[in-house]
Chain A
Amino acid sequence: MNIDKILVSIFQRAFKSITDEMSISLTKTTRSPILCEAKDFVTGLYDAKGQMLEQTENLPILSFSLGPVCKVILEQYGSDIHEGDVIIHNDVFSMGNQNNDVAIFKPIFHQNKLVGWSAAKGHQADIGGAVQGGYNPNATEVWQEALRIPAVKLYEKGKFRKDVWNLIFANIRLQMVQEDIKAQIGACTLGERRLSAFVEKYGLEVFEAHKIALFDATEKMMRAEIKAIPNGVYKGGSTVYYDGKHKGSKFPIRTEITVRNEDITFDFSKSSPQTKGFVNGIYTSTCSAITLTFLQMINPNIPHNEGMIKPLKYIVPEGTILNASYPAATTFGNHLCPQVADAIFKALGPAVPDRITAGWNHLLCSLFTGNHPRTGKKYVDICFLGLKGGSGAMKNDDGYDHIGMIDASGGVLDQDYEMYEQQTPHRIVQHEYLCDSGGAGEWRGGLGTVTQIMLRGDDTTMVVFGDGDVETNYGLFGGKGSVLNKIELKYKNGKKLIPMSKDMIQGIPDNTLYLQIASGGGGYGNPKKRDKKKVLEDVKNEVVSKKVAEKIYGVKK
């Protein structure tokens, strides 16, 4: 068939508009803040073989999380896939990426032939297991974390399977999750309608041929990007601290990246064996981390379809901390993304010094639960506003201030202060940039923040999970690191408590002051080479102190 090159461009636009529209629908209809505020979900379209046509990954960490599941479903059901089916899935041991991330798939038919899939995956507020919300620092096996849902049909040929639905939701705490799953099914229906109308309009043959042409053109773009990296084998590493069980424990992440002409392989075989706790990654979450890091190093306008993934090879053996074996606990896995990114940036630094960034702020997060004295109701609050630090600097660009960890890259927003004071009993005392938190360099790291919150209510529980409190975000090529992440409670009686990076503190009394430092990003290049004007501007704006300007940057007014 003749390829109409113009039509290929139009296909790309159309697919993107469909997955975007699915995402907008989800933002507006879901209830859980982690979906409608933090947008921790992805929407995508796949072809009959499970190849990605397009996706809108609202958080970059979901960039590789749907495609492998689509292939699992195809294999599992074979010819038993019908119009009107709706399939649900979360199982991390069959290509899920995190227990709480539940996917819905809907097959799309054209004249009784399977032509594609629409899919939506979102982070649910609860997924069963021992602890509400799924973050269980004490878990050692998957069942202590979550209900496992291997691919199963919620609808078969359009018929609702109430028995299956009831079985699943009998094991999940919050009613809200049912509403959010319904919203995901709605988004898939939207995608199904739009894609099938599209196939109808152009005919299956044209659709198939131009889809392949789109993949090919995208692959060509990716391969050109890889070709620009000199051939070689590059090694890099980073460290994961504390598994939540053994104080002082650390686990190396090691990567070996092989670039040969237009192919690139990311091999993480030499990383630490898996941990006994929940600080473990899983194949798809690690591949997402690799993918998003690499995408940040290349032209950001490359379409996200099968052609984008084809030239990337991932080696993440089972039994390692990045791909734990059944039945390990793995909920923390997505948060190993900063360490995976660090390892890749460090490895490729010598080869492509102007494409990589210095170290980003690692996640250190608090989750508060308690009773709201004004409403008498239970609240759950993930303190997004406190956790977002700066990104690493890169050649010709300072880091981005208060962007948060690389997994989200500015996709998760702070709560609004006044809304926060309405919805939780707490009072915000301070939320500001932290002076001298951006790693010094010719290009300065993005600024971190200091947050103080007066915790109100008699019996607050705080779950802490994260990292970045042991090693600073690294600088590059003479650039300096930043400060450390820190959380501290100051009790009314003057006592102070610094929690571990995976911890649970119960019974926090009224009027306890919560302090959080979210570190800045690392600097890039020798700070003495920084444009004097920029240093003085930073001093004027009080984000760099006079002392640091003089001592580190060598700039005196």
Chain B
Amino acid sequence: MRFNVGIDIGGTFTDLICVSSEGKTIVHKTLSTPQDSSIGFINGIREVAEMSGLSFEKFVSNIDTIVHGTTVSTNALLTLRGAKTALITTKGFRDALEMRRGIREEQFNNHYRNVTPLAPRYLRFTVDERMDSEGKVLKKFDEKELLPIIKKIKDENVESVAVCFMNSYKNANHEKKAIKFLRKNLKGIFVTASFEVLPSIRFYERVSTTVVSAFVGPIVAKYLDNLTQKLESINYKGTLLIMQSNGGVVVPDQVKKNPAVTVLSGPAAAPTAGAFYSQLLGYKNCITVDMGGTSFDAAIVIDNQCVTSTEGNINRYRIALPSLDIITIGAGGGSIGWLNSGGLLQMGPQSAGAMPGPVCYDRGGTIPACTDADLILGYLNPNFFAGGKLKLNKAKAEKSIKDELASKLGLSVLETAAGMYRIINSNMAQGVREISVERGYDPREFLFIVAGGAGSIHSSEICKELEIPMFLVPNVSSIFCAAGMLLGDLKHDYIRSYFTSFNNIDRKKFISLFNEMKDDGLNALVKEEGVAADRISFYPILDMRYLGQYHEVQMEANWDDVMKFNLENIFEAFHKEHNRQFGYSLKEEGTEMEIINVRLRVVGKTEKPKFLSGNSKNIPAEKAIKEHREIYIPELNKMKKVPIYDGDMPIFGSTIQGPCVIEKITTSILLTESYDCVVDDFGSFIVYEKEKFPKGYQLKNKKVTVNEH
């Protein structure tokens, strides 16, 4: 029996999923080890080995692939604990990185500060070189200019160097010369240049992304080396793959070349898993939401493809590499409730975090949080939180809600808790609206997939606000990201700038740029990652706009159209996409179009694990009722005694009627008065509004089959 293992390292827990060649799944959570997260990584493998019944050695030798999502680079950016980084740039442009085009995000807040630049001004050096806007040399670059800079870099113990020159997207020769010289003279120091990271027009985007890559580079490399060593020491002979922000996976050596590709490594797995699960149910489009302790992530999948964006920021640092489009808002189990000076109740975005956490954790927290409200409303079982590992103190939660909020609002504790629940749901619904409606998608046409420990007791109210009739809680909901890691393909994104109007476009150049990127992709996939040629496919993307517009549309094109220079088809697709996003196209007016960048995504399909479905030892749902408990029913605005189901029992194919709570060790699912649910063959829960039984679904012999949606 062979295994594939997905490992997602989070702040508190390291999540693991192991799928065998026969489709058997083991799901496990172990404590993270933030000082050196590779320890938790190996611990996790050891514990899963035990659960599999095999010896550790035997288990390890049977693993084919480990796919890993890491937050090493994300945390470096959030805590500013990256490498000591220098920037070398063109004379006259020393400050573009720190200026951030002069933005202050909060315009009415005079206390609001700029971010700390990842390369401080005294480590930003300039050299007297210049390319013009067409890529012609205006001022020749002389390596000798680097000598005093190299000396300062050594004197200051700089650990990482980024190089970004003006207009290098047109001509990178000076950058190439510079890094060659630097690498020769700065042994042991990480050196990267913008043409390696993001060779496209827009200086600010490029310099920022390159510096981010340099800032996280040495740390990511060190982490991966350490991990590879540890895996060698346990005799692991399989493949290690790293999850990237774009939802694809790559080998560690590729990551080391451009470490910035991992800044969203963790959350990127949720929509990747979402794409897989929605396909299982016959859906092409889905929204995935993941509610954890401090934040709520929402992402979108269209036509079984995760939606990517190049508009990303982390901690206000601009990263223009293609990343999955994920909205993060400050709403989680730890979000605190507070009253503003007008006496209005607010939730978050501040969080009680994991320490001290919500009041009911009884670890010294005094400010009421979302989890405290959930407990008072009866949605959480004080004796079965995380399967009983953490006892919740209801009395303390009640007292803090009373003292901090209820007494000041003139409401009862229950009314206040219900208010907290409503407001945080409305905040999360706003996040979902942002990822869907504001991007031109109607969320009602999407399968809504709920992940994360805290999500599934809030999802029915979020859906109600957005009129989404149904949501899915996958069987692996709480370790959804780890599962997603096993489902990602090998993906490489390439970009070249080619700024021209279509009237002046050069056929040969256009095609050769794509061929160039194709060769880069084949090189990485075939030579370095050993993918068979017949598993490789190409997805060209054109950054286009109508002449005179400022914001371009990233438009997917067809590979054949690109290779055959079939512009009519490309134009047609662009008008269509523009119309979808903005409600109009200028096709009739015959407005000229221009192109800014060409991109190519090269994908090597990985072998996907098979998940086992069905179970012979099924029991009827009534047998899974473990108790009755009072919970708050939003529709009735009062408490009501309802059955509590054990969601870890084999109840495949059953229908469960709301109101009730389905408790699993890792999560709870709330069905309010107006919801029912069916458990599908994979043990996932499909929750739907009673009157609005989802179109395309049929219940046959208590089993769910799904028609093409």
Contacts and interface: CB of A to CB of B under 8 A. Distances in A.
Contact of A409 (B95, B104, B121, B411): B104
A388 B101 CA distance: 10
B114 A176 contact: no
19 contacts: A5-B419, A21-B437, A25-B582, A27-B551, A31-B549, A36-B549, A176-B548, A217-B343, A300-B108, A400-B104, A400-B113, A401-B98, A422-B499, A428-B93, A431-B96, A433-B94, A433-B121, A449-B95, A542-B121
B688 interface: no
A14 B114 CA distance: 29
A543 B202 contact: no
Interface in A25-51: 25, 27-29, 31, 33, 36-37
B548 A31 contact: yes
Contacts of B121: 433, 541-543
Interface residues of A, number: 76
Interface stretch (B422-430, B482-490, B562-570): B422-430
Nearest to B433: A17
A1 interface: no
A76 interface: no
Interface in B57-110: 91-96, 98-99, 101-110
A217 B344 contact: yes
A301 B109 CA distance: 9
B104, B114, B581 — most chain A CB neighbours (10 Å): B104
A422 B497 CA distance: 12
Contact of A397 (B110, B205, B582): B110
Given A217-B344, A541-B120, A431 B93 contact: yes
A37 B202 contact: no
Nearest to A396: B111
Interface string A403-431: 11000111111101111011000011111
B201 interface: yes
Interface string B544-568: 0000111100000000000000000
> Closest 4 interchain pairs by CB?
A410-B104, A430-B92, A6-B419, A217-B342
Given A400-B112, A418-B133, A410 B340 contact: no
Contacts of A186: 583
A27 B94 CA distance: 30
Contacts of B550: 31, 33, 36-37
Contacts of A176: 548
B114 A417 contact: no
Contact of A10 (B411, B423, B582): B423
Contacts of A388: 102
A540 interface: yes
B166 interface: yes
Given A6-B345, A21-B437, A421 B104 contact: no
Given A409-B108, A416-B204, A418-B202, A17 B430 contact: yes
Interface residues of B, number: 63
Interface in B5-59: none
B110 A410 contact: no
A531 interface: no
A10 B92 contact: no
A33 B96 CA distance: 21
B166 A6 contact: no
A532 interface: no
A21 B204 CA distance: 27
Contacts of A339: none
A431 B92 contact: yes
B574 interface: no
A410 to B, nearest CB: 3
Contacts of B418: 6
A106 to B, nearest CB: 16
Contact of A218 (B102, B342, B582): B342
Interface string A313-327: 000000000000000
A167 B549 CA distance: 26
Contacts of B411: 5
B122 A13 contact: no
B203 A418 contact: yes
B409 interface: yes
Interface in A424-442: 427-433
Contacts of A416: 101, 201-205
Interface stretch (A92-100, A261-269, A291-299): A291-299
B169 A428 contact: no
Nearest to B207: A417
